[in-house]
Structure 1
Amino acid sequence: MRVLQIVNLGFEAGGAEKSVRLIAEGLTARGHQVRVVATDLLAEGQQVFADELVPAVSGGPARRLLGYFWHRPAYRAVRRQLLEFRPDCVHLHTIGEFSPAVLAATSGVPRLLTVHGPEDWTKALLRWNLASASAGGRLSAADSCRYLYLRLLQRPAYLLRLRRVRRVLAPSRYFAEAVRPDVGRVPVHVLPNGIPRTAGAEPVTDAQQLLFVGRLEPVKGVHVLLAAFRELIARHPEARLAVVGDGPERARLEAAAADLVADGRVVFHGWLTGDQVAERLRAASVVVLPSLWPENFPTVALEALQIGRPMVASRVGGLPELVGPDNGALVEAGDVAALAGALGGLIGDLERLALLGKGSAARADRYGVEEFLDNLEHHYTEIVRP
């Protein structure tokens, strides 16, 4: 089968891109022909896995506003890919950087779409596309205007064509239910992501090491984690925190934690390779996911399950489908005291950490990459069937 994959970014900026890369490599290994198309947004200097890059929306505010409503260069580039590659089906992933034009460009070919996070067409999640949403409370004046634009203009432009795809896939039950009202009669299926089994579960050997892995942006809640960590070390002075990832908030977060960094309690590792992330996971006692926005099905959580690490996570999005009393704890998003308390209940207690680590390992077998690819092939076969 010839499968065209379409995603905003052509390098591994996060879980969505990692999933697309795994799909492309896995399907190719199974004998399928796969082509990945992405925009060139932020691609300079990155390890690009996409086969083709199309121009991203650019220019001043007015031009960008029009570009996100209808990005003609993306339409032309995607149409050209369809004519050259002649796919049997198109798998759409994150598509906001292509604008609704990508849906028009791929019409006439069987399509499915995987929802990886809040998009410009997801009504229930729309506010999470706005910077001030992570602060809680009311949106800023600028974001309120942008929200109206998204709600009244951008979203309808997507829905007009989105409701013509053959099915929608969501990694979590939470996101499946969130998007059902948006897609009308299009069938929505839950298909949890899978990852390769690169390592077996390992026992926790250090009871004092916390770990965050993810993009450093406000919605990820790292500032909440740092505040909670300050409360934690008052009772557990031996505790340490490793922060893995990069992003627009890194400089601000490092400045806010300068004293903790100087003391060696907090280390910002920046972006790491997959092998290096696995090494940090093995060294961790607890993996922390303090997200403020509704996470879908984060890859780092699946990796933590595989290595057998307890998790403390916000009770948002799909995280409660991955974390429970058997393998960690859930807290209200943004609640510094609750996060500090949950971490304090685990840190330093090797016996409890071992028990919860076994709980994570027991969940890991549900999310193997081969089972994921089996299910994905089934969906492809279903949508191309006459």
Structure 2
Amino acid sequence: MHVAHFAPSIWRRGGIASYIRRLGAAQTARGDTVTHLSLDPDDRGAPDTYVLDTDAAISSLARQLDVDLVHLHKSVSVLPAIPTVRTMHGHQGSCPSGSRFLARTASPCHRTPGAVTCLWGKSVDRCGSIRPSRVVADFERLRREVEQADQIPTMTVSRFIRQKMQEAGCNPRHLFVVASPAPTVERVEPLSPDAARFLFLGRFVPEKGVMWLLRSYAEMESTAHLDLAGEGPLLPDVRAFIRHRNLDDRVTLHGWVDDDAVAALMRSARAVVFPSVWHEPAGLVSLEAAAHARPLIASRTGGIPEYARPEYAIRISPNDQSALTAALDDLASDPDRARKMGEAGRTLALGAFGMDRFLTRIDAVYRRALQSDVGIPAPLET
């Protein structure tokens, strides 16, 4: 099969780009032909990648390349006129702002979208722009997302995303839950019983909870080191907090790291901390930890609990500082428990979240698109 994956940018950093590359590599390895379609000029020259001037050109290029199916990872202005599927990676199909995050309180949004509730959210809770032109554009985008989800098979990366899309008016018969796959990790280091190190991977933005993590870490009773890998607008606040609490010798800022550096940090970690305070659609960080046989401390919000299974994760409510501190102390003082949790995560990464299972479910949705059969109720198992 010849599959064309489309996203506005294919080769930049980020979870969607990692997902596309991981899926494309697996499809290529089994004998499929994979083409990448992008709108990003920086993607020119990348392997098997075509950069388009507009997404309206997808159909003509796909026919020219003899593509069997287009796999969208973002919305388009006009759906391609060949078999097409979509993976919904975020909240674009259920939230005008696409965030489900209330910036004023740094908390997840639980509201059902609507003109009154969302206008209130934008103006009071700062969940998105309040400029009239942007507000109109946001609601128009949501309308188009709901409309397109009724025309093509749409995969969601979690049951949570599917449920919220259904509440927003999407036909659940056209929505299919396909959990993201864990990365393939050949070399897994045994967890060290020595001094604990905790690892955060992500952007330094309010919704990722890095400041909540720092406040909780500063209150730990146990001795542990904190590695922060990422970058973003909160970096000055992070640096200031570290200086103010005299944590310079206990917290290491690594900046943005590549895959090899991520693997090295995972090998040295006692556990991974995933403290998001928004409705994370899924969270590939959970699967990174599981694949490396490392336990996880994660927020109980959005799609995270569907990935951060209790076998290998301590799950806590967003912004609960005492609970996060207690979880850090627990794993810092009990390496044996951390090891057993990590081993359970590794089992899940190889089984429930393995690439073979993922491809099987992707193929089932592809077949429905090729047969124009989207009228079968979507399974909810992950």
- Pair in the same fold by TM > 0.5: yes
CA distance in 2, matches of 1:251, 1:79: 45
Q: 1:292 to 1:185 in 2, by over 3 A?
A: closer
CA distance in 2, matches of 1:347, 1:249: 26
User: Residue 201 of structure 2 aligns with which residue?
Assistant: 213
Percent of aligned pairs with the same residue?
Answer: 26
2:140 corresponds to 1:153: yes
Runs of 5+ unmatched residues, structure 1:
55-72
Q: 1:117 to 1:48 in 2, by over 3 A?
A: farther
Q: 1:224 to 1:174 in 2, by over 3 A?
A: same
2:16 corresponds to 1:16: yes
User: Residue 307 of structure 1 aligns with which residue?
Assistant: 292
Name the structure where helix makes up a greater proportion of residues: 1
Q: Could you tell me whether the CA contact under 8 Å between 1:193 and 1:372 is conserved in 2?
A: yes
- Post-superposition offset of 1:189: 1.6
CA offsets 1:54-92 (integer angstroms, 9 cap, x no match):
4xxxxxxxxxxxxxxxxxx52344344234324211111
Q: 1:231 to 1:380 in 2, by over 3 A?
A: same
User: Residue 92 of structure 1 aligns with which residue?
Assistant: 72
- Post-superposition offset of 1:222: 0.8
User: Residue 259 of structure 2 aligns with which residue?
Assistant: 274
Could you say what the CA RMSD is over the residues aligned between the two structures, in angstroms?
A: 2.9
User: Residue 62 of structure 1 aligns with which residue?
Assistant: none
Q: Could you tell me whether the CA contact under 8 Å between 1:217 and 1:247 is conserved in 2?
A: yes
- Residue among 115, 135, 144 paired with 2:106: 135
Q: 1:279 to 1:260 in 2, by over 3 A?
A: farther
CA offsets 1:313-369 (integer angstroms, 9 cap, x no match):
111112112334432311111222221122122212212222222322232222112
CA distance in 1, matches of 2:45, 2:206: 25
User: Residue 49 of structure 2 aligns with which residue?
Assistant: 51
2:238 corresponds to 1:253: yes
CA distance in 2, matches of 1:323, 1:240: 23
Q: 1:142 to 1:286 in 2, by over 3 A?
A: closer
Q: Could you tell me whether the CA contact under 8 Å between 2:229 and 2:256 is conserved in 1?
A: yes
Q: Could you tell me whether the CA contact under 8 Å between 1:261 and 1:267 is conserved in 2?
A: no
- Residue among 313, 331, 351 paired with 2:336: 351
Q: 1:12 to 1:258 in 2, by over 3 A?
A: farther
- Post-superposition offset of 1:196: 4.1
- Post-superposition offset of 1:6: 1.0
User: Residue 179 of structure 2 aligns with which residue?
Assistant: 192
- Residue among 81, 84, 90 paired with 1:117: 90
2:354 corresponds to 1:374: no
CA distance in 2, matches of 1:47, 1:175: 34
- Post-superposition offset of 1:226: 1.0
Higher mean C-alpha deviation, range 4-13 or range 177-186: 177-186
- Post-superposition offset of 1:195: 3.2
CA offsets 1:105-125 (integer angstroms, 9 cap, x no match):
51x211111111122x323x8
CA offsets 1:141-194 (integer angstroms, 9 cap, x no match):
9734578435643322333333211x1112222222222344225522221111
Q: 1:175 to 1:207 in 2, by over 3 A?
A: farther
Q: Could you tell me whether the CA contact under 8 Å between 1:224 and 1:290 is conserved in 2?
A: yes
1:68-87 aligned within 5 A: 73-87=53-67
- Post-superposition offset of 1:211: 0.4
Helix, strand or coil for the counterpart of 2:203? coil
User: Residue 59 of structure 1 aligns with which residue?
Assistant: none
Helix, strand or coil for the counterpart of 1:9? coil
CA distance in 2, matches of 1:47, 1:292: 38
Q: Could you tell me whether the CA contact under 8 Å between 1:192 and 1:372 is conserved in 2?
A: yes
What is the letter of the counterpart of residue 139 of structure 1?
D
Q: Could you tell me whether the CA contact under 8 Å between 2:226 and 2:252 is conserved in 1?
A: yes
Aligned length: 353
Q: 1:149 to 1:254 in 2, by over 3 A?
A: farther
User: Residue 162 of structure 1 aligns with which residue?
Assistant: 149
User: Residue 70 of structure 1 aligns with which residue?
Assistant: none
CA offsets 1:204-246 (integer angstroms, 9 cap, x no match):
21442110112222211111111111112xx22x211001123
Helix, strand or coil for the counterpart of 1:294? coil
User: Residue 327 of structure 2 aligns with which residue?
Assistant: 342
Helix, strand or coil for the counterpart of 2:332? coil
CA distance in 1, matches of 2:155, 2:184: 23
Q: 1:117 to 1:76 in 2, by over 3 A?
A: closer
Q: 1:76 to 1:197 in 2, by over 3 A?
A: closer
Q: State TM-score, norm by structure 2.
A: 0.82
User: Residue 179 of structure 1 aligns with which residue?
Assistant: 165
User: Residue 219 of structure 2 aligns with which residue?
Assistant: 231
What is the letter of the counterpart of residue 114 of structure 1?
T
- Post-superposition offset of 1:301: 1.2
User: Residue 369 of structure 2 aligns with which residue?
Assistant: 383
Q: 1:131 to 1:323 in 2, by over 3 A?
A: closer
CA distance in 1, matches of 2:62, 2:203: 32
